Chains A and B, each alone.
Chain A
Amino acid sequence: MPHLDAAYRFARWLSHSSDEAQDIVQEAFLRAFRSFDALRSADAKAWLLAIVRNCHATARQQEQRRGFVPLPEEPDAQFGAETLAAAPDPESASAALDDKRALDRLMAALPAEHREVLLLREMEDLSYGEIAAVTQVPIGTVMSRLARARAALKVKWLEEAKGGPRAVR
Protein backbone atom coordinates (compact mmCIF):
# COMPACT_ATOMS: atom_id res chain seq x y z
CA MET A 1 0.00 0.00 0.00
CA PRO A 2 2.00 2.96 -1.24
CA HIS A 3 2.45 6.01 0.98
CA LEU A 4 0.71 4.38 3.92
CA ASP A 5 3.64 5.14 6.21
CA ALA A 6 3.80 8.75 5.08
CA ALA A 7 0.04 9.11 5.53
CA TYR A 8 0.24 7.61 9.01
CA ARG A 9 3.16 9.80 10.07
CA PHE A 10 1.47 12.94 8.84
CA ALA A 11 -1.82 12.02 10.51
CA ARG A 12 0.00 11.33 13.75
CA TRP A 13 1.58 14.75 13.77
CA LEU A 14 -1.75 16.35 12.96
CA SER A 15 -3.73 14.49 15.59
CA HIS A 16 -1.03 13.82 18.22
CA SER A 17 -2.50 10.37 18.70
CA SER A 18 -1.77 7.02 17.15
CA ASP A 19 -5.37 5.80 17.45
CA GLU A 20 -6.85 8.88 15.88
CA ALA A 21 -4.18 8.82 13.18
CA GLN A 22 -5.17 5.28 12.27
CA ASP A 23 -8.82 6.23 11.91
CA ILE A 24 -7.91 9.24 9.79
CA VAL A 25 -5.67 7.21 7.52
CA GLN A 26 -8.26 4.53 7.01
CA GLU A 27 -10.84 7.13 6.06
CA ALA A 28 -8.33 8.81 3.74
CA PHE A 29 -7.53 5.57 1.92
CA LEU A 30 -11.20 4.88 1.48
CA ARG A 31 -11.79 8.33 0.02
CA ALA A 32 -8.74 7.99 -2.19
CA PHE A 33 -9.91 4.62 -3.38
CA ARG A 34 -13.32 5.94 -4.32
CA SER A 35 -11.87 8.72 -6.39
CA PHE A 36 -10.88 7.95 -9.94
CA ASP A 37 -8.56 10.92 -9.90
CA ALA A 38 -6.02 8.67 -8.24
CA LEU A 39 -5.37 7.08 -11.59
CA ARG A 40 -4.45 10.34 -13.18
CA SER A 41 -2.65 11.83 -10.27
CA ALA A 42 0.91 12.80 -11.04
CA ASP A 43 1.87 12.73 -7.44
CA ALA A 44 -0.17 10.25 -5.47
CA LYS A 45 1.73 10.98 -2.29
CA ALA A 46 0.95 14.70 -2.12
CA TRP A 47 -2.58 13.93 -3.16
CA LEU A 48 -3.04 11.32 -0.46
CA LEU A 49 -1.54 13.59 2.21
CA ALA A 50 -3.97 16.30 1.18
CA ILE A 51 -6.84 13.88 1.78
CA VAL A 52 -5.36 12.92 5.15
CA ARG A 53 -5.28 16.59 6.04
CA ASN A 54 -8.91 17.04 4.98
CA CYS A 55 -10.00 13.99 6.96
CA HIS A 56 -8.26 15.33 10.03
CA ALA A 57 -9.93 18.73 9.62
CA THR A 58 -13.32 17.04 9.25
CA ALA A 59 -12.75 14.96 12.36
CA ARG A 60 -11.83 18.08 14.32
CA GLN A 61 -14.96 19.88 13.18
CA GLN A 62 -17.16 16.97 14.24
CA GLU A 63 -15.50 16.89 17.66
CA GLN A 64 -16.09 20.57 18.13
CA ARG A 65 -19.72 20.27 17.16
CA ARG A 66 -20.15 17.57 19.78
CA GLY A 67 -18.41 19.75 22.33
CA PHE A 68 -15.65 17.19 22.71
CA VAL A 69 -12.44 18.57 24.16
CA PRO A 70 -9.40 16.42 23.39
CA LEU A 71 -7.11 15.57 26.29
CA PRO A 72 -3.77 17.31 26.31
CA GLU A 73 -1.39 15.18 24.35
CA GLU A 74 0.90 12.71 26.05
CA PRO A 75 4.38 12.25 24.70
CA ASP A 76 4.41 8.82 23.15
CA ALA A 77 7.20 6.73 24.59
CA GLN A 78 6.76 3.88 22.14
CA PHE A 79 9.33 4.92 19.57
CA GLY A 80 11.86 6.04 22.12
CA ALA A 81 11.67 2.63 23.71
CA GLU A 82 12.33 0.98 20.37
CA THR A 83 15.42 3.11 19.89
CA LEU A 84 16.62 2.18 23.34
CA ALA A 85 16.21 -1.51 22.70
CA ALA A 86 17.86 -1.39 19.30
CA ALA A 87 20.96 0.58 20.24
CA PRO A 88 24.12 -1.38 21.03
CA ASP A 89 25.12 0.34 24.27
CA PRO A 90 22.71 1.85 26.79
CA GLU A 91 24.60 5.08 27.35
CA SER A 92 24.61 6.29 23.76
CA ALA A 93 21.05 5.05 23.47
CA SER A 94 19.86 7.27 26.28
CA ALA A 95 21.72 10.24 24.84
CA ALA A 96 20.05 9.62 21.49
CA LEU A 97 16.75 9.34 23.28
CA ASP A 98 17.29 12.71 24.96
CA ASP A 99 17.94 14.29 21.58
CA LYS A 100 14.80 12.76 20.19
CA ARG A 101 12.64 13.87 23.09
CA ALA A 102 14.03 17.37 22.94
CA LEU A 103 13.30 17.63 19.25
CA ASP A 104 9.79 16.24 19.67
CA ARG A 105 9.15 18.90 22.28
CA LEU A 106 10.50 21.64 20.03
CA MET A 107 8.38 20.49 17.13
CA ALA A 108 5.28 20.22 19.29
CA ALA A 109 5.83 23.80 20.44
CA LEU A 110 5.76 25.15 16.87
CA PRO A 111 2.51 26.56 15.49
CA ALA A 112 0.68 23.83 13.56
CA GLU A 113 1.01 25.59 10.20
CA HIS A 114 4.78 25.84 10.67
CA ARG A 115 5.14 22.28 11.85
CA GLU A 116 3.24 20.94 8.89
CA VAL A 117 5.33 22.61 6.17
CA LEU A 118 8.48 21.55 7.96
CA LEU A 119 7.36 17.92 8.12
CA LEU A 120 6.25 17.83 4.52
CA ARG A 121 9.49 19.35 3.31
CA GLU A 122 12.11 17.75 5.53
CA MET A 123 10.57 14.39 6.35
CA GLU A 124 8.37 13.62 3.35
CA ASP A 125 10.53 15.42 0.81
CA LEU A 126 7.68 17.16 -0.99
CA SER A 127 8.37 20.02 -3.40
CA TYR A 128 7.04 23.52 -2.74
CA GLY A 129 4.32 22.93 -5.31
CA GLU A 130 3.24 19.71 -3.63
CA ILE A 131 3.26 21.32 -0.19
CA ALA A 132 1.14 24.14 -1.57
CA ALA A 133 -1.34 21.58 -2.88
CA VAL A 134 -1.47 19.67 0.40
CA THR A 135 -1.86 22.72 2.62
CA GLN A 136 -4.04 24.69 0.19
CA VAL A 137 -1.97 27.86 0.27
CA PRO A 138 0.00 29.65 -2.47
CA ILE A 139 3.63 28.66 -3.06
CA GLY A 140 4.82 32.05 -1.80
CA THR A 141 3.14 31.34 1.51
CA VAL A 142 4.75 27.91 1.63
CA MET A 143 8.15 29.53 1.17
CA SER A 144 7.68 32.16 3.85
CA ARG A 145 6.15 29.70 6.32
CA LEU A 146 8.97 27.29 5.74
CA ALA A 147 11.54 30.01 6.34
CA ARG A 148 9.81 31.10 9.54
CA ALA A 149 9.38 27.52 10.75
CA ARG A 150 13.04 26.70 10.20
CA ALA A 151 14.19 29.90 11.89
CA ALA A 152 11.84 29.36 14.84
CA LEU A 153 12.99 25.79 15.33
CA LYS A 154 16.61 26.89 15.26
CA VAL A 155 15.97 29.65 17.79
CA LYS A 156 14.13 27.34 20.20
CA TRP A 157 16.79 24.75 19.87
CA LEU A 158 19.58 27.23 20.65
CA GLU A 159 17.61 28.48 23.65
CA GLU A 160 17.27 24.94 24.89
CA ALA A 161 20.97 24.30 24.39
CA LYS A 162 21.82 27.38 26.44
CA GLY A 163 19.40 26.54 29.23
CA GLY A 164 19.95 22.78 29.45
CA PRO A 165 23.01 20.83 30.50
CA ARG A 166 23.30 18.97 27.20
CA ALA A 167 24.96 20.80 24.35
CA VAL A 168 23.17 20.44 21.05
CA ARG A 169 25.47 19.37 18.34
Chain B
Amino acid sequence: MQCAESLRIQAYFDGEVDAISAADIERHAEHCPACRALLGDLAQTRARLRRDLDYPQAPQALRERIARTLDTEAAADASRAGDASRVADASRVAGTARAAGAPRPVGPPRALSSWRTRPFWQGVLGGAVSALAAGLAFMLLFTAPRDALLDEVVAAHVRSLMPEHLTDVVSTDRHTVKPWFAGHADVSPVVADFAPEGYRLVGGRADYFGHQRAAVVVYEHGAHVINVFAWVAGGERLPDLTTRSGYHVAFWRVGNLQYAAVTDAGWDELLRLVRLLRDLGESDAR
Protein backbone atom coordinates (compact mmCIF):
# COMPACT_ATOMS: atom_id res chain seq x y z
CA MET B 1 0.00 0.00 0.00
CA GLN B 2 1.62 3.21 -1.13
CA CYS B 3 1.01 6.55 0.50
CA ALA B 4 0.43 9.65 -1.63
CA GLU B 5 3.42 11.17 0.15
CA SER B 6 5.87 8.62 -1.22
CA LEU B 7 7.67 11.00 -3.60
CA ARG B 8 8.08 13.50 -0.80
CA ILE B 9 9.41 10.77 1.44
CA GLN B 10 11.90 9.89 -1.25
CA ALA B 11 12.95 13.52 -1.68
CA TYR B 12 13.43 13.72 2.08
CA PHE B 13 15.55 10.57 2.00
CA ASP B 14 17.68 12.04 -0.79
CA GLY B 15 18.25 15.28 1.09
CA GLU B 16 16.29 17.33 -1.42
CA VAL B 17 13.93 19.14 0.93
CA ASP B 18 14.45 22.16 3.17
CA ALA B 19 14.43 21.96 6.94
CA ILE B 20 10.80 23.01 7.30
CA SER B 21 9.51 20.39 4.87
CA ALA B 22 11.79 17.82 6.47
CA ALA B 23 10.22 18.41 9.87
CA ASP B 24 6.81 18.17 8.25
CA ILE B 25 7.66 14.89 6.55
CA GLU B 26 9.12 13.44 9.74
CA ARG B 27 5.86 14.23 11.54
CA HIS B 28 3.93 12.52 8.77
CA ALA B 29 6.13 9.41 8.81
CA GLU B 30 5.57 9.01 12.54
CA HIS B 31 1.93 8.28 11.86
CA CYS B 32 2.16 6.56 8.49
CA PRO B 33 3.33 2.94 8.52
CA ALA B 34 3.59 2.84 4.70
CA CYS B 35 6.01 5.78 4.69
CA ARG B 36 8.08 4.36 7.54
CA ALA B 37 8.37 1.11 5.61
CA LEU B 38 9.35 3.06 2.49
CA LEU B 39 12.11 4.86 4.36
CA GLY B 40 13.42 1.51 5.52
CA ASP B 41 13.35 0.14 1.97
CA LEU B 42 15.16 3.16 0.59
CA ALA B 43 17.92 2.86 3.15
CA GLN B 44 18.24 -0.86 2.53
CA THR B 45 18.48 -0.45 -1.25
CA ARG B 46 21.09 2.22 -0.93
CA ALA B 47 23.15 0.21 1.52
CA ARG B 48 23.06 -2.85 -0.71
CA LEU B 49 24.00 -0.92 -3.85
CA ARG B 50 26.86 0.84 -2.15
CA ARG B 51 28.12 -2.36 -0.62
CA ASP B 52 27.79 -4.75 -3.52
CA LEU B 53 27.77 -2.88 -6.79
CA ASP B 54 31.00 -2.67 -8.73
CA TYR B 55 32.68 0.63 -8.19
CA PRO B 56 35.60 0.31 -10.56
CA GLN B 57 38.26 2.91 -11.09
CA ALA B 58 39.35 3.95 -14.53
CA PRO B 59 42.22 1.81 -15.78
CA GLN B 60 45.63 3.44 -15.58
CA ALA B 61 46.06 2.95 -19.31
CA LEU B 62 42.98 5.06 -19.97
CA ARG B 63 44.26 7.79 -17.69
CA GLU B 64 47.51 7.90 -19.62
CA ARG B 65 45.80 7.77 -22.97
CA ILE B 66 43.59 10.74 -22.13
CA ALA B 67 46.52 12.67 -20.71
CA ARG B 68 48.40 12.21 -23.99
CA THR B 69 45.39 13.21 -26.09
CA LEU B 70 44.78 16.33 -24.06
CA ASP B 71 48.44 17.27 -24.09
CA THR B 72 48.43 17.15 -27.86
CA GLU B 73 45.21 19.11 -27.97
CA ALA B 74 46.52 21.69 -25.51
CA ALA B 75 49.76 22.18 -27.41
CA ALA B 76 47.85 22.74 -30.64
CA ASP B 77 45.55 25.09 -28.78
CA ALA B 78 48.34 27.13 -27.27
CA SER B 79 50.15 27.60 -30.57
CA ARG B 80 46.90 28.60 -32.26
CA ALA B 81 45.92 31.22 -29.74
CA GLY B 82 47.24 34.70 -29.29
CA ASP B 83 47.06 36.06 -25.76
CA ALA B 84 44.28 38.58 -25.94
CA SER B 85 42.34 36.96 -28.74
CA ARG B 86 42.04 33.92 -26.52
CA VAL B 87 39.73 35.68 -24.13
CA ALA B 88 37.78 37.32 -26.90
CA ASP B 89 37.29 33.94 -28.53
CA ALA B 90 36.02 32.32 -25.41
CA SER B 91 32.33 32.82 -26.03
CA ARG B 92 32.60 31.76 -29.64
CA VAL B 93 34.47 28.58 -28.76
CA ALA B 94 31.95 27.78 -26.07
CA GLY B 95 29.21 28.24 -28.60
CA THR B 96 30.66 25.84 -31.12
CA ALA B 97 31.40 23.31 -28.43
CA ARG B 98 27.78 23.39 -27.39
CA ALA B 99 26.69 22.94 -30.96
CA ALA B 100 29.00 19.93 -31.11
CA GLY B 101 26.93 18.23 -28.50
CA ALA B 102 28.27 19.40 -25.19
CA PRO B 103 25.30 20.24 -22.97
CA ARG B 104 24.94 23.45 -21.11
CA PRO B 105 26.58 23.60 -17.71
CA VAL B 106 24.36 22.91 -14.76
CA GLY B 107 23.22 25.82 -12.64
CA PRO B 108 24.80 29.20 -12.07
CA PRO B 109 28.54 29.58 -11.57
CA ARG B 110 29.33 28.64 -8.01
CA ALA B 111 32.83 27.33 -7.78
CA LEU B 112 35.87 28.44 -9.66
CA SER B 113 37.88 25.35 -8.94
CA SER B 114 37.08 23.89 -12.30
CA TRP B 115 38.99 20.81 -13.19
CA ARG B 116 40.42 22.51 -16.23
CA THR B 117 42.43 24.82 -14.06
CA ARG B 118 44.02 22.01 -12.08
CA PRO B 119 47.80 21.74 -12.19
CA PHE B 120 47.75 18.77 -14.52
CA TRP B 121 47.56 20.79 -17.68
CA GLN B 122 47.97 24.21 -16.26
CA GLY B 123 51.65 23.98 -17.12
CA VAL B 124 50.93 22.61 -20.54
CA LEU B 125 48.68 25.47 -21.49
CA GLY B 126 51.09 28.08 -20.31
CA GLY B 127 49.42 31.22 -19.08
CA ALA B 128 46.43 31.25 -21.39
CA VAL B 129 43.88 29.31 -19.40
CA SER B 130 45.05 30.40 -15.99
CA ALA B 131 44.93 34.01 -17.10
CA LEU B 132 41.39 33.51 -18.26
CA ALA B 133 40.52 31.74 -15.04
CA ALA B 134 42.05 34.56 -13.04
CA GLY B 135 40.01 37.05 -15.03
CA LEU B 136 36.84 35.12 -14.32
CA ALA B 137 37.77 34.81 -10.67
CA PHE B 138 38.27 38.54 -10.50
CA MET B 139 34.88 39.21 -12.08
CA LEU B 140 33.08 36.74 -9.86
CA LEU B 141 34.74 37.99 -6.71
CA PHE B 142 33.57 41.46 -7.40
CA THR B 143 30.19 40.82 -8.91
CA ALA B 144 28.86 37.92 -6.86
CA PRO B 145 28.81 39.67 -3.45
CA ARG B 146 27.19 42.74 -4.97
CA ASP B 147 24.48 40.58 -6.46
CA ALA B 148 24.05 38.75 -3.18
CA LEU B 149 23.68 42.07 -1.41
CA LEU B 150 21.09 43.18 -3.90
CA ASP B 151 19.16 39.96 -3.48
CA GLU B 152 19.29 40.27 0.26
CA VAL B 153 18.05 43.81 0.29
CA VAL B 154 15.17 43.09 -2.07
CA ALA B 155 14.23 39.94 -0.16
CA ALA B 156 14.20 41.92 3.08
CA HIS B 157 11.98 44.53 1.47
CA VAL B 158 9.52 41.91 0.23
CA ARG B 159 9.51 40.26 3.65
CA SER B 160 8.72 43.55 5.30
CA LEU B 161 5.60 43.93 3.17
CA MET B 162 4.05 40.83 4.69
CA PRO B 163 1.49 41.54 7.39
CA GLU B 164 3.03 42.52 10.74
CA HIS B 165 6.56 42.58 9.36
CA LEU B 166 6.97 46.19 8.37
CA THR B 167 7.90 47.83 11.62
CA ASP B 168 9.12 46.88 15.06
CA VAL B 169 8.67 50.37 16.39
CA VAL B 170 5.82 52.42 15.05
CA SER B 171 6.30 56.10 15.30
CA THR B 172 6.26 59.21 13.23
CA ASP B 173 8.62 60.83 15.69
CA ARG B 174 12.29 60.52 14.87
CA HIS B 175 13.13 61.02 18.56
CA THR B 176 11.38 57.73 19.23
CA VAL B 177 12.69 55.79 16.26
CA LYS B 178 16.33 56.78 16.49
CA PRO B 179 16.93 55.78 20.14
CA TRP B 180 15.10 52.51 19.53
CA PHE B 181 17.85 51.44 17.14
CA ALA B 182 20.46 51.81 19.87
CA GLY B 183 19.15 48.67 21.54
CA HIS B 184 18.07 46.76 18.45
CA ALA B 185 20.54 47.31 15.66
CA ASP B 186 24.28 47.64 15.24
CA VAL B 187 24.08 51.07 13.68
CA SER B 188 22.37 54.38 14.21
CA PRO B 189 21.26 55.76 10.86
CA VAL B 190 19.81 59.15 10.08
CA VAL B 191 16.13 59.27 10.84
CA ALA B 192 13.88 62.13 9.82
CA ASP B 193 10.29 62.77 9.01
CA PHE B 194 10.01 64.33 5.58
CA ALA B 195 6.22 64.63 5.71
CA PRO B 196 6.26 68.08 4.14
CA GLU B 197 8.19 66.65 1.21
CA GLY B 198 5.74 63.76 0.94
CA TYR B 199 7.74 61.06 2.76
CA ARG B 200 6.05 60.09 5.95
CA LEU B 201 8.13 58.34 8.61
CA VAL B 202 6.19 55.29 9.79
CA GLY B 203 8.70 53.53 11.99
CA GLY B 204 11.80 51.40 12.27
CA ARG B 205 12.81 47.81 12.22
CA ALA B 206 15.91 45.69 12.73
CA ASP B 207 16.76 43.23 9.95
CA TYR B 208 19.53 40.71 10.09
CA PHE B 209 21.55 40.53 6.94
CA GLY B 210 25.14 40.74 5.79
CA HIS B 211 26.03 39.18 9.17
CA GLN B 212 24.89 42.16 11.15
CA ARG B 213 21.74 43.74 12.47
CA ALA B 214 20.89 46.38 9.95
CA ALA B 215 18.69 49.29 10.93
CA VAL B 216 15.71 49.84 8.68
CA VAL B 217 13.81 53.09 8.58
CA VAL B 218 10.43 52.83 6.95
CA TYR B 219 8.83 55.65 4.97
CA GLU B 220 5.60 55.89 3.09
CA HIS B 221 5.14 57.89 -0.04
CA GLY B 222 1.49 57.87 -0.98
CA ALA B 223 0.61 54.20 -1.13
CA HIS B 224 4.22 53.10 -1.54
CA VAL B 225 6.49 51.79 1.17
CA ILE B 226 10.16 52.71 1.05
CA ASN B 227 12.54 50.71 3.18
CA VAL B 228 15.84 52.41 3.95
CA PHE B 229 18.47 49.96 5.16
CA ALA B 230 21.63 51.03 6.95
CA TRP B 231 24.58 48.91 7.99
CA VAL B 232 28.27 49.26 8.69
CA ALA B 233 30.21 49.44 5.45
CA GLY B 234 32.59 46.62 4.74
CA GLY B 235 35.02 46.77 1.84
CA GLU B 236 32.28 45.86 -0.63
CA ARG B 237 31.61 47.86 -3.71
CA LEU B 238 28.05 49.00 -4.05
CA PRO B 239 25.83 48.13 -6.98
CA ASP B 240 24.54 50.97 -9.06
CA LEU B 241 20.92 51.90 -9.27
CA THR B 242 19.21 48.65 -10.04
CA THR B 243 15.77 47.26 -10.62
CA ARG B 244 15.31 43.76 -9.30
CA SER B 245 12.04 41.81 -9.32
CA GLY B 246 10.25 45.05 -10.13
CA TYR B 247 11.67 46.93 -7.14
CA HIS B 248 13.96 49.90 -7.54
CA VAL B 249 17.05 49.85 -5.39
CA ALA B 250 19.44 52.73 -4.72
CA PHE B 251 22.68 52.42 -2.78
CA TRP B 252 24.77 55.14 -1.24
CA ARG B 253 27.23 55.68 1.50
CA VAL B 254 27.72 58.29 4.18
CA GLY B 255 30.75 58.07 6.45
CA ASN B 256 31.11 54.44 7.42
CA LEU B 257 27.44 53.64 6.89
CA GLN B 258 26.10 51.92 3.86
CA TYR B 259 22.55 52.71 2.83
CA ALA B 260 20.12 51.00 0.50
CA ALA B 261 16.62 52.19 -0.29
CA VAL B 262 14.11 49.80 -1.85
CA THR B 263 10.68 50.59 -3.13
CA ASP B 264 8.00 49.93 -5.70
CA ALA B 265 7.52 53.66 -6.13
CA GLY B 266 9.00 55.32 -9.22
CA TRP B 267 12.64 56.23 -9.66
CA ASP B 268 11.99 59.96 -9.24
CA GLU B 269 10.23 59.45 -5.94
CA LEU B 270 12.95 57.14 -4.69
CA LEU B 271 15.84 59.37 -5.72
CA ARG B 272 14.29 62.44 -4.15
CA LEU B 273 14.17 60.69 -0.78
CA VAL B 274 17.73 59.43 -1.29
CA ARG B 275 18.87 63.02 -1.92
CA LEU B 276 17.12 64.25 1.23
CA LEU B 277 18.62 61.50 3.35
CA ARG B 278 22.07 61.90 1.92
CA ASP B 279 22.12 65.63 2.50
CA LEU B 280 20.90 65.16 6.02
CA GLY B 281 23.41 62.40 6.69
CA GLU B 282 26.28 64.47 5.40
CA SER B 283 25.38 67.53 7.43
CA ASP B 284 24.95 65.19 10.40
CA ALA B 285 28.37 63.68 9.91
CA ARG B 286 30.10 67.03 9.84
Tell me if A2 and B50 are in contact (CB < 8 A).
no
Kindly list chain A residues whose C-beta atoms are within 8 Å of the C-beta of B114.
38-41, 44
Tell me if A51 and B57 are in contact (CB < 8 A).
no
User: Given that A22-B59, A29-B69 are known contacts, is A100 also in contact with B53, CB under 8 Å in the complex?
Assistant: yes
Is the C-beta of B276 less than 8 angstroms from some C-beta in chain A? no
**Docked complex Cα distance between A32 and B115 (Å):** 10
B90 interface neighbour in A30, A36, A99, A151, Cβ under 8 Å: A36
Kindly list chain A residues whose C-beta atoms are within 8 Å of the C-beta of B136.
39-40
B16 interface neighbour in A36, A46, A127, Cβ under 8 Å: A127
Count residues on chain A whose CB falls below 8 Å from chain B CBs: 65
**Docked complex Cα distance between A8 and B60 (Å):** 11
Tell me if B100 and A31 are in contact (CB < 8 A).
yes
Classify chain B: how many residues form its interface, as a range: 35 or more
User: Which residue of the partner chain B has the closest CB to A18?
Assistant: B59
Contacts A51-B102, A102-B52, A144-B7 aside, 14 further interface pairs with beta carbons under 8 A come to A1-B63, A22-B61, A25-B66, A29-B70, A34-B73, A41-B109, A50-B103, A50-B106, A100-B52, A107-B53, A122-B45, A147-B6, A147-B10, A157-B48
Interface string of B86-103 (1 = CB under 8 A from A): 000011011001101111
Tell me if A42 and B57 are in contact (CB < 8 A).
no
B106 interface neighbour in A12, A46, A143, Cβ under 8 Å: A46
Is the C-beta of B24 less than 8 angstroms from some C-beta in chain A? no
Tell me if B48 and A25 are in contact (CB < 8 A).
no
Tell me if B73 and A44 are in contact (CB < 8 A).
no
Is the C-beta of A90 less than 8 angstroms from some C-beta in chain B? no
**Docked complex Cα distance between A31 and B114 (Å):** 15
User: Which residue of the partner chain B has the closest CB to A7?
Assistant: B58
**Docked complex Cα distance between A41 and B67 (Å):** 21
**Docked complex Cα distance between A46 and B10 (Å):** 21
Tell me if A103 and B108 are in contact (CB < 8 A).
no
- Closest chain-B Cβ to A49's Cβ sits at a distance in Å of 10
User: Which residue of the partner chain B has the closest CB to A153?
Assistant: B45
Q: Closest 10 interchain pairs by CB?
A: A35-B97, A41-B105, A8-B58, A2-B115, A42-B110, A36-B94, A133-B106, A42-B107, A103-B52, A50-B103
Tell me if B62 and A25 are in contact (CB < 8 A).
yes
Interface string of A47-63 (1 = CB under 8 A from B): 10011001100100000
Is the C-beta of B56 less than 8 angstroms from some C-beta in chain A? yes
Is the C-beta of B65 less than 8 angstroms from some C-beta in chain A? yes
